[in-house]
């Protein structure tokens, strides 16, 4: 086997793969079935090849897939997934101009379709999507659509606030369908891009082509449909495209930032049509989901040494949406990486000061003291007192710990609120409780309970 050389031209590799195949299957079979096989695209760890007809594709897949895979891996030194597609008539492979190193970006399988659509983020798959109460319906619906051979509900309408995973789910559907059946024509694009292309087609007088293209797909996905509101001619065109596809039993998937009936500026008939299929909303995340998402990201990034305490802190404090949560984690990791310091609660708070302020839900230290005192059945004045008996000292430490986790107050500020204690006392309390929690499940449960009460 040759060593893979990243700058070896693809055309060279491809020629050698073909030679190997010819030797392997013999001239006759080669000329009948493999001569017309073309290299169409290379994308991440997938290699797309194409043949001119569906019949040929089925034959090649069932008789030669294994041989093609072997020839490829022997020649290129990698073992990608190989997909064989039917190419639209008259099209050839543009990909051969490149070298292996240059082809990691998406290159069209079907040029016009790919140009009309938007590229898909390789990270946005079902595997990378963490499911919780907030998004389980949307996830289940998306997964069903991606798995189905016929159309289970039409359209699927996903809605929710920004950064909650609508686009992620749509990309996941597209990836999944492409993988299951690469011959299905899937197009994903934003409503804005749809509008832009329609308007451009009006200007250049190729509305027919626009119509044909969008009506030839098997799966149409339009993201952020609220942006279509108000633009009359585009709305009209969208409506017709939508109806044409639904009538032909093609899957349509739409996302929006609000429910169909609340899409102001959208015509009544369109609003009602959008609600005909399955409408699934994504809610604000809860604490458990945020923790799950953080853990999954940490794992994917291969980041070690992120203390659980920091993840909990982020999950408690960055509640606006998943995008911000992700951004916060990335910032903390980048910072620790750059300055070469370990990630601690302190550095996290320092790095995210602005973000934390924006997400501050204004839990006050007084609230915390009151709740904790109630919970442990001690007087609230004990929070400020100098008494050191365990029965009051431990709850006081718990309150300090929660104050550090749930507010943006600095250690000296917290100290001051606890009867003018020194910041080192607060620091010690935070550390102590954190240690105790590891082995004391009652304490750990108390803290979770208090936290939950304070946050609702
Ligand atoms: P929206 O389109 O609803 O505004 P996105 O789909 O762009 O939101 O999500 C924002 C970011 O959060 C993306 O990076 C996405 O991968 C991530 N994300 C959202 N929800 C989840 C989830 N449940 N699990 C993992 N990542 C998520
Ligand atoms: Mg989006």
Ligand 1 pocket residue status of 135, Cβ below 6 Å: yes
Degrees to nearest 5, angle at CA 323 with 319 and 327: 95
Ligand 1 pocket residue status of 290, Cβ below 6 Å: no
Q: Which residues of 150-159 are buried (b: 16+ CB within 10 A; e: fewer)?
A: ebebbbbbbb
Taking the CA atoms of 136, 137, 139 and 144 in sequence, report the sign of the dihedral they define.
positive
Indicate which ligand has the atom closest to the C-alpha of 226: 2
Q: How far is the CA of 158 from the centre of ligand 2 (A)?
A: 11
Yes or no: say if 79 and 73 are a contact pair by the CB < 8 Å rule.
yes
Q: Where are the beta strands (DSSP E) in 208-274?
A: 219-223, 251-256
Residue with the two structure tokens 């609003």: 271
Q: Which residues of 284-301 are buried (b: 16+ CB within 10 A; e: fewer)?
A: ebbbebbbbbbeebbeee
Per-residue pLDDT at 281: 95
Per-residue pLDDT at 372: 96
- Could you say which residues of the chain have pLDDT below 50? 1-4, 93-94, 97-99, 101-109
- List strands edge to edge, sheet with 38-43: 38-43, 46-51, 81-86
Q: How far apart are CA 321 and CA 284, in angstroms?
A: 7
Q: How far apart are CA 399 and CA 366, in angstroms?
A: 10
Atom of ligand 1 nearest to the CA of 326: 12
Atom of ligand 1 nearest to the CA of 132: 23
Indicate which ligand has the atom closest to the C-alpha of 171: 1
Q: Which of 163, 166, 226 to mutate to test the pocket of ligand 1 (most atoms within 8 A of CB)?
A: 163
Ligand 1 pocket residue status of 414, Cβ below 6 Å: no
Phi, psi of 310 (to 5 degrees): -70, -40
- What average pLDDT does the chain have? 88
Q: How far apart are CA 393 and CA 378, in angstroms?
A: 10
SS3 157: strand
The first and second tokens of residue 104, run together, are 């990691």
Q: How far apart are CA 148 and CA 156, in angstroms?
A: 13
Per-residue pLDDT at 203: 82
Ligand 1 pocket residue status of 329, Cβ below 6 Å: no
Q: How far is the CA of 256 from the centre of ligand 1 (A)?
A: 14
The first and second tokens of residue 376, run together, are 């442990």
CA atoms within 13 A on the CB side of 418: 35
The CA dihedral of 61, 66, 69, 70, to the nearest 10 degrees, is: -160
The first and second tokens of residue 125, run together, are 């798959």
Yes or no: say if 172 and 124 are a contact pair by the CB < 8 Å rule.
yes
Ligand 1 pocket residue status of 165, Cβ below 6 Å: yes
Q: How far is the CA of 328 from the centre of ligand 1 (A)?
A: 14
Atom of ligand 1 nearest to the CA of 168: 6
Ligand 1 pocket residue status of 166, Cβ below 6 Å: yes
Indicate which ligand has the atom closest to the C-alpha of 173: 1
Degrees to nearest 5, angle at CA 63 with 61 and 68: 70
CATH code given to domain 287-360: 1.10.8
CA atoms within 13 A on the CB side of 291: 11
pLDDT (tens digit per residue) in 252-296: 999 999 999 999 888 899 999 999 999 999 999 999 999 999 999
First to last CA, the chain: 62
Residue 426 burial (CB count, 10 A):
25
Per-residue pLDDT at 102: 45
Pairing type for strands 38-43 and 46-51 reads: antiparallel
Per-residue pLDDT at 78: 80
| Those residues with Cβ within 8 angstroms of residue 394's Cβ, 6 or more apart along the chain or in another chain | 376
The first and second tokens of residue 337, run together, are 């990486």
Residue 345 burial (CB count, 10 A):
17
User: Which H or E run includes 294?
Assistant: helix 287-300
What superfamily does domain 10-106 belong to in CATH? Answer: DnaA, N-terminal domain (3.30.300.180)
pTM for this structure?
Answer: 0.64
Q: How far is the CA of 108 from the centre of ligand 2 (A)?
A: 23
Q: Which of 131, 135, 168 to mutate to test the pocket of ligand 1 (most atoms within 8 A of CB)?
A: 168
Instruction: Looking at the structure, give the CATH architecture of the domain made up of residues 363-455.
Output: Orthogonal Bundle (1.10)
Q: How far apart are CA 395 and CA 383, in angstroms?
A: 8
**What residue owns the CA closest to ligand 1's atom 19?**
165
pLDDT (tens digit per residue) in 330-379: 999 999 888 888 999 999 999 998 888 777 667 899 999 999 999 999 99
**What residue owns the CA closest to ligand 1's atom 23?**
130
Q: Where are the domains of the chain?
A: 10-106, 116-282, 287-360, 363-455
Q: Which of 315, 322, 325, 328 to mutate to test the pocket of ligand 1 (most atoms within 8 A of CB)?
A: 322
Atom of ligand 1 nearest to the CA of 161: 3
The first and second tokens of residue 150, run together, are 């016929």
Query: Is the bond preceding 155 in cis, omega lying within 30 degrees of 0?
Result: yes
**Fold for the domain defined by 116-282:** Rossmann fold (3.40.50)
Q: How far is the CA of 228 from the centre of ligand 2 (A)?
A: 14
Q: How far is the CA of 223 from the centre of ligand 1 (A)?
A: 13
| Those residues with Cβ within 8 angstroms of residue 413's Cβ, 6 or more apart along the chain or in another chain | none
Are 10-106 and 287-360 equal in CATH topology? no
Atom of ligand 1 nearest to the CA of 169: 6
Ligand 1 pocket residue status of 168, Cβ below 6 Å: yes
């Amino acid at each position: 086997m040759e060593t893979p050389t990243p700058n070896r031209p693809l055309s060279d590799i491809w020629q050698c793969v073909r030679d190997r195949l010819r030797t392997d299957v013999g001239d006759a079979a080669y000329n009948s079935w493999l001569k017309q096989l073309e290299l169409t695209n290379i994308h991440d760890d997938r290699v797309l090849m194409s043949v001119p007809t569906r019949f040929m594709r089925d034959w090649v897949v069932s008789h030669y897939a294994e041989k093609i895979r072997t020839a490829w891996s022997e020649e290129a030194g990698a073992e990608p997934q190989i997909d064989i597609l039917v190419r639209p008539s008259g099209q050839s492979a543009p990909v051969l101009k490149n070298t292996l190193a240059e082809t990691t970006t998406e290159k069209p399988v079907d040029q016009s379709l790919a140009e009309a659509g938007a590229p898909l983020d390789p990270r946005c798959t079902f595997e990378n999507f963490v499911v919780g109460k907030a998004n389980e319906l949307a996830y289940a619906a998306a997964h069903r659509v991606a798995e189905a051979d016929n159309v289970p509900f039409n359209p699927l309408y996903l809605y929710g606030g920004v950064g909650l995973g609508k686009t992620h789910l749509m990309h996941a559907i597209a990836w999944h369908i492409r993988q299951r059946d690469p011959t299905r024509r899937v197009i994903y694009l934003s409503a804005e891009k749809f509008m832009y292309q329609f308007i451009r087609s009006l200007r250049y007088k190729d509305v027919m082509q626009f119509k044909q293209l969008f009506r030839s797909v098997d799966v149409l996905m339009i993201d952020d449909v609220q942006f279509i509101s108000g633009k009359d001619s585009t709305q009209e065109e969208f409506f017709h495209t939508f109806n044409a596809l639904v009538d032909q039993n093609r899957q349509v998937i739409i996302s929006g930032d609000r429910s169909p009936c609340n899409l102001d500026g959208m015509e009544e008939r369109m609003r009602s049509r959008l609600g005909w299929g399955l409408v699934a909303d994504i809610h604000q995340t809860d604490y458990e989901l945020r923790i799950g998402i953080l853990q999954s990201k940490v794992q994917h990034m291969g980041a070690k040494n992120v203390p659980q305490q920091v993840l909990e802190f982020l999950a408690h404090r960055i509640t606006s949406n998943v995008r911000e949560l992700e951004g916060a984690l990335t910032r903390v990791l980048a910072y620790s990486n750059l300055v070469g310091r370990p990630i601690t609660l302190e550095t996290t708070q320092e790095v995210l000061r602005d973000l934390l302020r924006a997400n501050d839900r204004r839990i006050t230290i007084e609230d915390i003291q009151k709740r904790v005192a109630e919970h442990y059945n001690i007087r609230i004045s004990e929070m400020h007192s100098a008494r050191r008996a365990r029965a009051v000292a431990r709850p006081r430490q718990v309150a300090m710990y929660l104050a550090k986790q749930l507010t943006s107050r600095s250690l000296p500020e917290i100290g001051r609120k606890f009867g003018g204690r020194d910041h080192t006392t607060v620091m010690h309390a935070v550390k102590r409780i954190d240690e105790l929690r590891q082995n004391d499940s009652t304490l750990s449960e108390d803290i979770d309970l208090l936290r939950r009460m304070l946050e609702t």
